Amino acid sequence: MLASAEQAKSCRELYEEFLVKRGNHQGEKLIFSGVGTRDVYNITAPFMDDGEPVIAGRVEDRDKEASEIMFFVNRQGEWVPRPGSPVFVLQDPFVSFVQGEIVFGGVEVYFDAFDPHFVTSWRTVFYRGKRIGDLQLFAKGPLTMKDIRLVDLGNGRIGVFTRPMMVEGARAMIGYTEIADLSELTEEVIDRAELLRNQFLPEEWGGANEAHMLSNGIIGVLGHVARMENTNIRHYYPMTFAFDPATRTHSRLKLIASRDMFPEGPAKRPDLEDVLFSGGLVRIEGGSARIYTGVSDAEAHTIVIPDPFIEYEQ
């Protein structure tokens, strides 16, 4: 059983703890081409489709919020759009493999009819298929909920992490529930997920970005935790925690990266300079892991760090 934290720590406290032991790890920018002047950010980790590694990324003009998700393949060191792959009018892609299928999703955003820059609402949508070319819409989450992620538990069950907003006096919290089949993923099931308490301060927030089933039956969760200064400056940090689906207990959060570990670069807006949105993690034999992250809502970077899930398996 995991020893859950009795009280949430602030982003500042987590960051101070992280600085003590983060080491000298440096990230690098990934090069995307073939999309004109648009940015590619908030990417997934590479995943296999039809025998080759593919990355899904958010593609967007610097001065707009309207996005597309495109699939990219590596050609001579650059990630280029994969010919023949579908394009989705969504934001912030994610991918998991559940019961022999790809589950792909993103955030569907609704804009004001008179102001194309003003977002009125959003929701997470889900597609499934044996391969990217076969993806079909099968579920939608509740309005205003991002960061819904699935994990195949390997026992015929599917774990579902949720992220309701404005609950119990908090800006957002992570929830968890289980289903037996993808057909059971409904708004009602998502809304009834059990809340994971003592993860964030009420004025801060976070969410799950990717879930990994570990060798001991524990789920390693890659996510983000965030805070906002009074001047509306946003600070997003990649974090991980462990979750035991048998006991519904979770470990405390730990940060695994910060903006200054990556090369300098542009930001979509000044308030987004200190934003890392962790999209995926690939474990590497020997005790390392490669993180793929959006940076400042303008670029996509990667970094190799010590595997943050190893301690959860011990």
Q: Which two tokens stand for residue 257?
A: 């990266």
Q: Is the pLDDT reported for residue 1 higher than 60? A: no
Please report, for the chain, the start and end positions of each structural domain, with discontinuous segments joined by +: 11-313
The stretch 16-25 carries a mean pLDDT of: 94
At residue 101, φ and ψ (nearest 5 deg) are: -125, 155
For the entire predicted model, the pTM comes to 0.96
Tokens 């939608």 found at: 140
Q: Report the distance separating Cα 241 and Cα 225, nearest Å.
A: 11
Closest CA to 293 of 270, 265, 252: 265
Q: Is the pLDDT reported for residue 175 higher than 60? A: yes
Q: Report the distance separating Cα 46 and Cα 281, nearest Å.
A: 9
The stretch 174-178 carries a mean pLDDT of: 98
> What band does 218 get if pLDDT is binned at 50, 70 and 90?
very high
What is the predicted pLDDT for the residue at 3?
A: 58
What is the predicted pLDDT for the residue at 5?
A: 59
Identity of the amino acid at 220: G
What is the predicted pLDDT for the residue at 238?
A: 98
309 within 8 A of 240, measured Cβ to Cβ: yes
DSSP at 189: H
- As a whole number, the mean pLDDT across the chain is 96
Q: CA triplet 15, 268, 90: central angle to 5 degrees?
A: 95
> What band does 126 get if pLDDT is binned at 50, 70 and 90?
very high
> What band does 115 get if pLDDT is binned at 50, 70 and 90?
confident
Q: Report the distance separating Cα 149 and Cα 138, nearest Å.
A: 14
Q: pLDDT tens across 55-68, in order?
A: 999 999 999 989 99
Domain 11-313 homologous superfamily, CATH = Glycosyl hydrolase domain; family 43 (2.115.10.20)
Count CB-CB contacts under 10 A for residue 196. Answer: 21
